[in-house]
Structure 1
Amino acid sequence: MPLTPEQQAEIDTLRSQPQETLRTVAPGMERHLYTAHPVLDHGFVRVVDYMGDDAAICQAARVSYGKGTKSVSNDEGLIRYLMRHWHSTPFEMCEVKLHVKLPVFVARQWIRHRTANVNEYSARYSILDREFYIPAPDALAAQSTTNNQGRGEALQGDEAQRVLRILQDDAMRCYDHYEQMISEDGQQGLARELARMNLPANVYTQWYWKVDLHNLLHFLRLRADAHAQYEIRVYADAICAIVADWVPAAYKAFEDYRMGGATLSSSALDCVRRMLKGEEVTQESSGMSKGEWREFMGVIEP
């Protein structure tokens, strides 16, 4: 179950007591407040609080840059200019606080983004639930033959069933032992902070994650990318949908310039210019390595 009865009761209480406010309100984000969006088999993402909107980005930019922005005819144009020229501080004026439930191994990837405030569920103080991420059959894949940190084709038939059975059996067995160790029935019981080390990396944890929009978009650029691991990418996709409703102009610019755009090196740009002049350019004459050339060709000839 994604939300506990206690969490749902708290959310229901908060939603039943709306309050007037003089602060900026983003109508698209208001619809997401306190709504748990399911992710994976037991996980979720929900908005706890937020600050700012598209207008807040423009307000901050105009304070910073003064009359130099007066040539920009509208807020959307200004936001696109800021995104296009990598001006980051105006986007830092918006913040969001998320409540996320996720497997531990996903959390360990996520925490690499050290530009947020995080408070995680304490397994030293509380007992973790018997909830584990078990992949859907189509998410079980072999090791990629071209990428050391990626996956290839999906496992088939008996092998897929055997792997699923191992994952389920190991998770349940580890949790059984966890419960046995912390139990105080007829024994002292092992400390929770020690017993937790026996749990596998697919057990679920929860945290509050507060981040400004600039750093959130950087997170999404990496984790909503097709090359990101599936289990963190689905969380990033869920957050993308939320951000698109919160700051639609900023998100559209982000899609155009970051997610849908490409950065070219000086060598790659030189190759494009030569190609436009009709010159036949090869990897050998490009001045790029094989890896750089392969990535370059993936951009101009997807």
Structure 2
Amino acid sequence: MGLSPEQLAEISELRSQAQSTLRATAPGMEAHLYKPYQVLDHGFVRVVDYMGDDAAICQAARVSYGRGTKSVQNDDGLIRYLMRHWHSTPFEMCEVKLHVKLPVFVARQWIRHRTANVNEYSARYSILDREFYIPAPEHVAAQSEVNNQGRGSALEGEEAARVLELLKSDSTRAYDHYEEMISSDGQQGLARELARMNLPANIYTQWYWKVDLHNLFHFLRLRADAHAQYEIRVYAEEICKIVADWVPFAYGAFEEYRLGAETLSASALDCVRRMLKGEEVTKETSGMSAREWRELEAVLKG
């Protein structure tokens, strides 16, 4: 795993220190605190800090209508109600700070979620490590013929080997030149902020990423989806495991109403209602485009 000896020592020290606190803690999250979980070949994700739990979500929700209603609905039921009816503010009462090591091209996808606080490793001040993401052979795939932003079937044999060799050799050559440019051995050496431009997008970077639970769920709904790019999906799946232990009621509601659910347009819902009444609805009578009809069919077939 891509952790330096200094980082490992820091983690060991932090986990050896028991802290007394009056604030609410989540036993499931305490078990994850500081531990790194490997993702891809050199990446990881680990929890640095967190705030809140399932009870904090309910506390925030109940302040809107008074404590006297608490006996009407238990915490699990209340959280499911909030998730089902898109009441997002109570989920913002929980936050988590993650330390993530990831390839730069994955980071560029990840940063599109602009509702978080991010502090990234600076290649202006520090020298990046010689670590590159090289996909496993089963993840070296051709361009999809039906999805312009996705991959199709895996490359095989000599073609797969050729692509992997190009990725490895290009990464190595670019880093060799990076080291040559910044070297001060017999020369002034190029500034690090300029030399970094020559590095490939599969080199690893690191950042601290702090986000509230509502926006984290939005990230996970998109990035843990089966259609998300594999290299970011595996990070989202690892985070899902952590969140499930941190806020089990909230994560259960998220799985039920977001991650495992589908959203139907007004036209699609009208088609379903007509079908339930016994009408035979076709693409021609649906009032939807061919692509919308295919998507509805895929939802109904499961």
TM-score tier (shorter): over 0.9
Match of 1:113, SS state, is: coil
Distance 1:263 1:172 in 2: 45
The percent identity for this pair of structures is 81
The residue type paired with residue 296 of structure 1 is L
2:138 equivalent in structure 1: 138
Distance 2:93 2:179 in 1: 45
59-68 or 261-270: bigger deviation: 59-68
1:280 equivalent in structure 2: 280
Alignment of 1:262-301 (within 5 A): 262-301=262-301
Per-residue Cα deviation, 1:237-285 (whole angstroms, up to 9, x for no partner): 0000000000000000000000111111111111111101111000110
Distance 1:107 1:190 in 2: 25
Alignment of 1:1-150 (within 5 A): 1-66=1-66, 70=70, 72-150=72-150
Distance 2:43 2:72 in 1: 42
1:164 equivalent in structure 2: 164
Q: CA RMSD in A?
A: 1.0
The residue type paired with residue 64 of structure 1 is S
Distance 1:30 1:76 in 2: 21
1:246 equivalent in structure 2: 246
Alignment of 1:203-222 (within 5 A): 203-222=203-222
Shift of 1:65: 3.3
Distance 2:72 2:85 in 1: 14
Question: 1:69, 1:78 within 8 Å by CA — same for their partners in 2?
Answer: no
Match of 2:45, SS state, is: strand
Shift of 1:17: 1.3
Distance 2:113 2:20 in 1: 35
36-45 or 64-73: bigger deviation: 64-73
Q: Which runs of 5+ in 2 are unaligned?
A: none
Distance 2:226 2:301 in 1: 17
Distance 1:68 1:202, change over 3 A: farther
Shift of 1:72: 3.9
Per-residue Cα deviation, 1:93-122 (whole angstroms, up to 9, x for no partner): 000000000000000000000000000000
Shift of 1:18: 1.1
Per the normalisation by structure 2, the TM-score is 0.98
The residue type paired with residue 259 of structure 2 is M
Per-residue Cα deviation, 1:2-47 (whole angstroms, up to 9, x for no partner): 2100111111111111111111110000010010000000000000
Distance 2:107 2:291 in 1: 30
Shift of 1:301: 1.1
Distance 1:2 1:27 in 2: 27
The residue type paired with residue 117 of structure 2 is N
The residue type paired with residue 262 of structure 1 is E
93-102 or 72-81: bigger deviation: 72-81
Distance 2:292 2:46 in 1: 39
The residue type paired with residue 199 of structure 1 is L
Match of 1:65, SS state, is: coil
Distance 2:128 2:91 in 1: 36
Distance 1:65 1:7 in 2: 46
Per-residue Cα deviation, 1:167-209 (whole angstroms, up to 9, x for no partner): 0000000000000000000000000000000000000000000
Question: 1:93, 1:212 within 8 Å by CA — same for their partners in 2?
Answer: yes
